[in-house]
């Protein structure tokens, strides 16, 4: 047992970190391993790779992810802010590089190969962006003389314009939603909230009008007979085939025909083989992680920690909710991975980075420390 | 503390920023409290979103578990177990064997072309277009091939085609093969009886049992038949030999227990293999003993004479005029071997005189003749357990001429089984016992039977039949089955070809009883259109083919039926007639 008497960095971490939250995250990672074993071999076989190619890589990325998760959770809020700035800067540089030299896959440039690893720079940009935006909003509350809100808007515009250039509408939407949520939490007036909602509705409508594939997806959702709904149909069949307890490991058939069975539709594949019981358990884990973090944020005294941890939780929660809703045909099809469950190589490291920051920001800190931090900050700000 | 920091906002901030701030966030608000409330709101929102997802999952789970139509549909097929059918000694005649059947779930098949290619390569007798049609349907379940071998199942399993599966079904197997074909009948691919005793099982409760889902396993008691598989085999073997030897179109035979009405063996050639029922619908392969009706020929004289004897108006020595042909209107009835004198009633039987038999019947009168035949069950459709049966063909207007011809077995067509039942009554002491294919005890038979002739009449018929084996047309059979003291009556009926009786195409029969002094069994052998052979000196009458065939049958089956040979027995007039008189 870790002693409370000696104040080593580790014992301090152990006694302040939200261990239940950490356990939930680890459980999610293990669930991801099991589902990867179920869902990825058929995909690998289909594209002519070793059946366990994706599974091996999934496990391979788990270790660095876990290290990143733990390491980041050791950081103090100040360190988090600084590291986020660095990560964001690198990510933006990488996105720019991707736009310039990245290969075009299915009509968009999202991937860049670095040291033999395919990297989607927008993935690592997301958590860093959330932390920076949260910092700016907290500053706007604390230091009125700083044009923090405008800076947050500028930050948003930078990332969104890069993502639109890729183009990656899914990530764009996610970023917009999280930014809006942060703005809302920071205290925006209801009238603006309604206005933002109206703008996003208008934006969606514009996308419907001017972007053909978005229009197609929405039409197919409203009226399944109007087009090819093979993926979602197969996913729905997987759910009803599975029933409560599933067909059993390896018995699923949806994974054989779903092209994205190991990424976007891993939830349906899991349902078919392990039953809706497993889906409910996963859902409970996601809900627990999100709501636990939000409640910690609610209790937090520090503005920045509160905004940043709730922003990260919202990012995590919305992404999971969108993926599950698409699988369940609750919303139109939108490519979005299920955090820690879907196969994602480098994106898992980014997720671990985000969740690590979540853990770090929800650590219990004595008030004095927060005060001194805040004051030190303030002092530095004036200096 | 944070709320102490907030008041820092104030005076030295440019007014423009102040305006934007109040526009964005509202005037003079405690943003700390507001932020906290809104984090709370976010929690509620997430709880709601995840709640909706959970609800959707639960609905899908409930729907998924209730739409198990495929499972129930397939259980129907599996539940159709049938009871075993065994012969009187417990030998299995029909039983269920569990075999795999190949089915597909077309909606789950990913690559139809690949599936079809692999399946037809493994099962070459699959019809490719048909398989394609079945796999292309939107159904959840479709049979591909019923009842495949374990080897084929293994091969298909190894192909690893998704959406293909196996169900264990009950396949009906008949170890005795064709030997019991007409008796047992057969089942269709769903294990439902469609002919013979299998169908009888279904109509007598098994189908209801299936529908209720209770016929699932081996809990059903085996059905015991009256048939003796050993006798059946021997009879069939001898009939095949006879059919080949005399180049007959068909041959049939029946062994019946005269006291219980049980049918111990029944063969109708050509038959079929119920395990591979391809030829079952061939009209040539009907059951000639129950489904066909025939003019039985001289065999019917037994009934005619029994009628006369039973009436008391005639005895064995009553004389009948057989000096020449019997003329009736423009018709003339001839004898095959005219004797040119008056003959006794016994001689009518042993010489098989048509003229004599006609005069015997005429002496009784049309109405009495008709009533007698009605009483012994020759005018009504005989129904047994076998669903296949036929109505006799009886003249609509029955006048003297009909009585004349019917007296010697022409002008009326009955199912041979029906004639066997009638003859049984003439020799078993006078009881008409409906025949049965199921095991039956003597007591049950007595209850089911009714007396139709006196015991003395029965004794006299036994005597006549034995006499016929000693000096009459059945001599050859007696020689072939020495020691069993058989009696018998031959029948050669000319078949109607193109509206005329043909001399060349005949239906021969031989009815034998054994032993004649205390009959236990009746054996009927029928040959349809036997050909003349050098050894029959060009004759095609019954005594040259059906009789020797019957003799051989008896020599083989008598030991199986438990009849001991007795030698040096006195002739019939002393053994049967004297005994009969003595008992009077």
- The arithmetic mean of pLDDT across residues A348-372, rounded, is 81
Q: How far is A64 from chain B (nearest CA, A)?
A: 30
Domain count, chain A: 1
Give which of B29, B287, B50 is closest to A279, Cα–Cα.
B50
CA angle B397/B398/B401 to nearest 5° reads 115
Asked whether residue A344 is assigned to any structural domain, the reply reads yes
Asked whether residue A118 is assigned to any structural domain, the reply reads yes
Domain of residue A74, residue span: 20-362
Inform me whether the pLDDT recorded for B47 exceeds 90.
yes
Query: Which positions in chain A touch B6 (Cβ < 8 Å)?
Result: 141-142
B298 is catalytic: yes
Asked whether residue A285 is assigned to any structural domain, the reply reads yes
Give which of B386, B390, B440 is closest to B201, Cα–Cα.
B386
Report whether B433 contacts B425 (CB < 8 A). Answer: yes
Asked whether residue A179 is assigned to any structural domain, the reply reads yes
Is the Cβ pair A185, B38 closer than 8 Å?
A: yes
Which of these is catalytic: B181, B256, B268, B298?
B298
Inform me whether the pLDDT recorded for B569 exceeds 90.
no
Cβ contacts of B575-580, under 8 Å, gap ≥ 24: B575/B466, B575/B517, B576/B459, B576/B462, B576/B463, B576/B466, B576/B516, B576/B517, B577/B459, B577/B460, B577/B463, B579/B459, B579/B517, B580/B456, B580/B459, B580/B460, B580/B463
The contacts of residue A240 (CB under 8 Å, 6+ apart) are B60, B63, B64, B67
A156 CB within 8 Å of a chain B CB: no
A371 CB within 8 Å of a chain B CB: yes
Q: Is A142 exposed, middle or buried (0-12, 13-18, 19+ CB in 10 A)?
A: buried
**What is the C-alpha to C-alpha distance for residues B169 and B78, in angstroms, rounded to an integer?**
5
- Which of B5, B13, B57, B70 should we substitute to test contact with A (largest number of A Cβ atoms within 10 Å)? B57
Q: How far is B213 from chain A (nearest CA, A)?
A: 26
The secondary structure of chain A, three-state, reads CCCCCCCCHHHHHHHHCCHHHHHHHHHHHHHHHHHHHHHHHHHHHHCCCCCCHHHHHHHHHHHHHHHHHHHHHCCCHHHHHHHHHHHHHHHHHHHHHHHHHCCCECCECCCEEECCEEECHHHHHHHHHHHHHHHHHHHHHHCCCCCHHHHHHHHHHHHHHHHHHCCCHHHHHHHHHHHHHHHHHCCCCHHHHHHHHHHHHHHHHHHHHHCHHHHHHHHHHHCHHHCCCHHHHHHHHHHHHHCCCCCCCCCCCHHHHCCCCCCCCHHHHHHHHHCHHHHHHHHHHHHHHHHHHHHHHHHCCCHHHHHHHHHHHHHHHHHHHHHHHHHCCCCCCCCCCCCCCCCCCHHHHHHHHHHHHHHHHCCCCCHHHHHHHHHHHHHHHHC
- Tell me the pLDDT of chain A averaged across its residues: 84
- Given this model, what pLDDT does residue B76 score? 45
- pLDDT tens digit sequence for A253-284: 778 777 778 888 889 888 888 989 999 999 99
The contacts of residue B387 (CB under 8 Å, 6+ apart) are B185, B195, B196, B199, B200, B203
Inform me whether the pLDDT recorded for B178 exceeds 50.
yes
Inform me whether the pLDDT recorded for B574 exceeds 50.
yes
CA angle B252/B255/B261 to nearest 5° reads 125
Asked whether residue A369 is assigned to any structural domain, the reply reads no
Asked whether residue A2 is assigned to any structural domain, the reply reads no
Q: Poorest-confidence range of B27-36, B192-201, B242-251, B362-371?
A: B27-36
Is the Cβ pair B57, A321 closer than 8 Å?
A: no
Confidence bin at B219 (pLDDT 50/70/90): low
- Given this model, what pLDDT does residue A48 score? 81
Of B25, B57, B64, the CB nearest to A189: B25
- Given this model, what pLDDT does residue B561 score? 92
Residue of A nearest to B111 (CA): A257
- Tell me the pLDDT of chain B averaged across its residues: 84
Is the Cβ pair B13, A145 closer than 8 Å?
A: yes
B44 CB within 8 Å of a chain A CB: no
Q: How many CB pairs under 8 A join A and B?
A: 146
Asked whether residue A295 is assigned to any structural domain, the reply reads yes
B381 CB within 8 Å of a chain A CB: no
DSSP 3-state of B557:
helix
Asked whether residue A141 is assigned to any structural domain, the reply reads yes
**What is the C-alpha to C-alpha distance for residues A320 and A355, in angstroms, rounded to an integer?**
13
Inform me whether the pLDDT recorded for B579 exceeds 90.
no
Cis ω before B265 (30° cut-off from 0): no
- Given this model, what pLDDT does residue B73 score? 41
Inform me whether the pLDDT recorded for A20 exceeds 90.
yes
Q: Which of residues 68-107 of B touch A (CB under 8 A)?
A: 107
Using CA of residue B228, residue B232, residue B235, residue B238, what is the dihedral sign?
negative
Report whether A11 contacts A30 (CB < 8 A). Answer: no
- pLDDT tens digit sequence for A182-228: 988 888 778 888 888 888 888 888 888 877 777 777 777 777 666 66
Q: How far is B78 from chain A (nearest CA, A)?
A: 22
DSSP 3-state of B250:
strand
Is the Cβ pair A141, B6 closer than 8 Å?
A: yes
Query: Which positions in chain A touch B66 (Cβ < 8 Å)?
Result: none
Query: Which positions in chain A touch B52 (Cβ < 8 Å)?
Result: 330
Interface confidence (ipTM) of the complex: 0.89
Q: Which of residues 102-161 of B touch A (CB under 8 A)?
A: 107-108, 110
């Amino acid at each position: 047992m870790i002693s409370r008497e000696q104040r080593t960095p580790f014992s301090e971490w152990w006694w302040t970190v939200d261990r239940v939250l950490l356990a939930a995250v680890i459980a999610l990672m293990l669930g991801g391993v099991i589902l990867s074993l179920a869902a990825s071999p058929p995909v690998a076989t289909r594209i002519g790779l070793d059946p366990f190619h994706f599974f091996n890589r999934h496990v391979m990325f788990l270790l660095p992810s876990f290290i990143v998760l733990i390491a980041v959770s050791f950081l103090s809020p100040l360190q988090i802010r600084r590291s986020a700035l660095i990560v964001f800067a690198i990510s933006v540089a990488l996105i720019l590089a991707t736009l310039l030299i990245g290969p075009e896959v299915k009509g968009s440039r999202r991937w860049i190969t670095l040291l033999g690893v395919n990297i989607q720079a927008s993935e690592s940009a997301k958590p860093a962006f959330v932390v920076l935006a949260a910092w700016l909003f907290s500053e706007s509350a604390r230091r009125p003389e700083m044009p923090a809100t405008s800076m947050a808007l500028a930050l948003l515009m930078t990332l969104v314009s890069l993502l639109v250039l890729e183009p990656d509408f899914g990530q764009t939407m996610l970023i917009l939603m999280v930014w809006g949520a942060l703005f809302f939490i920071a205290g925006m007036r209801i009238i603006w909230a309604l206005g933002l909602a109206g703008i996003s509705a208008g934006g969606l409508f514009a996308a419907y009008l001017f972007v053909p594939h978005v229009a197609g997806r929405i039409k197919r959702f409203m009226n399944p007979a109007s087009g090819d709904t093979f993926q979602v149909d197969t996913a729905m069949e997987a759910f009803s085939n599975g029933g409560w307890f599933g067909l059993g490991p390896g018995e699923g058939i949806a994974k054989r025909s779903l092209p994205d069975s190991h990424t976007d539709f891993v939830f349906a594949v899991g349902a078919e083989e392990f039953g809706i019981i497993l889906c409910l358990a996963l859902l409970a884990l996601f809900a627990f992680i999100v709501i636990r973090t939000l409640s910690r944020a609610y209790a937090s005294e520090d503005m920045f920690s509160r905004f940043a941890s709730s922003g990260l939780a919202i990012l995590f929660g919305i992404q999971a909710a969108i993926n599950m809703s698409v699988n369940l045909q609750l919303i139109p099809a939108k490519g979005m991975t299920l955090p820690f469950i879907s196969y994602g190589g480098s994106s898992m490291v980014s997720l671990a980075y985000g969740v690590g920051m979540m853990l770090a920001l929800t650590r219990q800190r004595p008030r004095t420390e927060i005060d001194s931090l805040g004051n030190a900050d303030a002092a530095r700000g004036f200096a | 503390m944070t709320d102490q920091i907030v008041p820092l906002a104030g005076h030295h901030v440019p007014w423009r920023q102040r305006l934007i701030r109040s526009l964005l966030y509202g005037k003079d608000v405690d943003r700390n409290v507001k932020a906290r409330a809104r984090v709370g709101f976010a929690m509620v929102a997430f709880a709601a979103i995840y709640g909706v997802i959970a609800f959707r999952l639960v609905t899908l789970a409930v729907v998924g578990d209730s739409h198990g139509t495929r499972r129930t549909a397939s259980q129907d097929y599996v539940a159709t177990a049938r009871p075993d059918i065994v012969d009187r000694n417990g030998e299995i005649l029909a039983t269920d064997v569990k075999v795999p059947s190949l089915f597909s779930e077309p909606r789950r098949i990913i690559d139809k072309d690949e599936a079809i290619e692999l399946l037809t390569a493994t099962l070459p007798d699959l019809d490719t277009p048909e398989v394609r049609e079945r796999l292309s349907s939107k159904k959840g379940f479709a049979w591909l091939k019923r009842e495949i071998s374990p080897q084929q199942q293994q091969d298909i399993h190894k192909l690893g085609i998704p959406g293909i599966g196996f169900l264990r079904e009950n396949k009906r197997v008949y170890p005795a093969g064709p030997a019991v074909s007409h008796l047992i009948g057969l089942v269709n691919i769903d294990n439902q009886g469609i002919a013979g005793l299998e169908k009888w099982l279904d109509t007598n409760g098994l189908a209801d049992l299936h529908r209720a889902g209770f016929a699932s396993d081996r809990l059903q008691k085996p059905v015991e038949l009256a048939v003796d598989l050993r006798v059946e085999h021997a009879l069939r073997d001898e009939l095949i030999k006879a059919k080949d030897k005399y180049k007959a179109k068909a041959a049939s035979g029946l062994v019946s227990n005269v006291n219980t009405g049980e049918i111990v063996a029944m063969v109708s050639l050509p038959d079929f293999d119920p395990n591979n029922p391809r030829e079952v619908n061939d009209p040539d392969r009907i059951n000639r003993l129950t489904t066909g009706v025939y003019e039985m020929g001289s065999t019917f004289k037994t009934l005619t004479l029994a009628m006369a004897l039973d009436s008391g108006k005639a005895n064995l020595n009553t004389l009948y005029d057989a000096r020449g042909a019997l003329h009736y209107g423009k018709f003339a009835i001839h004898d095959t071997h005219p004797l040119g004198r008056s003959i006794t009633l016994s001689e009518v039987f042993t010489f098989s005189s048509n003229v004599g038999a006609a005069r015997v019947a005429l002496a009784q009168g049309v109405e009495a003749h008709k009533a007698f035949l009605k009483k012994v069950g020759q005018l009504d459709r005989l129904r047994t357990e076998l669903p296949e049966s036929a109505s006799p063909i009886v003249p609509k207007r029955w006048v003297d001429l009909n009585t004349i011809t019917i007296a010697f077995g022409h002008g009326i067509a009955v199912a041979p089984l029906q004639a066997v039942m009638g003859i049984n009554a003439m020799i078993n002491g006078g009881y008409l016992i409906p025949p049965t294919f199921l095991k039956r005890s003597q007591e049950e038979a007595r209850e089911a039977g009714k007396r139709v002739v006196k015991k003395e009449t029965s004794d006299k018929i036994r005597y006549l039949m034995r006499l016929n084996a000693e000096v009459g047309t059945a001599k050859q059979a007696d020689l072939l089955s020495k020691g069993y003291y058989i009696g018998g009556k031959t029948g050669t009926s000319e078949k109607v070809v193109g509206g005329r009786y043909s001399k060349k195409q005949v239906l021969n029969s031989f009815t034998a009883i054994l032993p004649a002094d205390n009959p236990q069994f009746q054996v009927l052998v029928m040959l349809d259109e036997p050909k003349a052979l050098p050894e029959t000196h060009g004759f095609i009458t019954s005594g040259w083919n059906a009789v020797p065939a019957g003799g051989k049958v008896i020599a083989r089956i008598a030991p199986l039926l438990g009849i001991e040979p007795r030698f040096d027995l006195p002739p019939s007039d002393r053994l049967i007639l004297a005994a009969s008189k003595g008992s009077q």
